[in-house]
Amino acid sequence: MSPFSKDKALGDCTPEKAFWSTHGVIVRNIYEMEKFLEFADEWTFRYHINLDNNKNDFADWIRDVLEDSDLANKLEGVMEKEKYLKIVKERIKELETH
């Protein structure tokens, strides 16, 4: 994996690496992920995060595609949508100001 890049973390990924939600919503960057999380219903959120099956699609995509392992690590184990969204928003603010 290449070194962390703030521009990569905040920018659009290539179309083939976009996150596809269970409902077909396509997410290309962390800003779109933030909006998706704001409007996703609980069922959709739980579809992508299931700790019983060791599944966290959002954190995996953030780690593998945006290459932001710091954010992905913070999201591991978080099951509450509002807390998850708060962590994403805080990371965006942190990246934008540094």
pLDDT, mean of each 10-residue run, the chain (98 residues): 79 96 94 97 93 89 96 94 98 94
Specify the pLDDT at position 3: 72
Q: Considering only CA atoms, which of 52, 48, 50, 54 is closest in space to residue 20?
A: 48
Non-local (6+) Cβ contacts of 2 within 8 A are: 67
Question: How many CA atoms are closer than 13 Å to the CA of 53, on its beta-carbon side?
Answer: 8
Specify the pLDDT at position 47: 93
Specify the pLDDT at position 52: 78
Helices first, then strands: H and E counts in the chain: 6, 4
Specify the pLDDT at position 2: 60
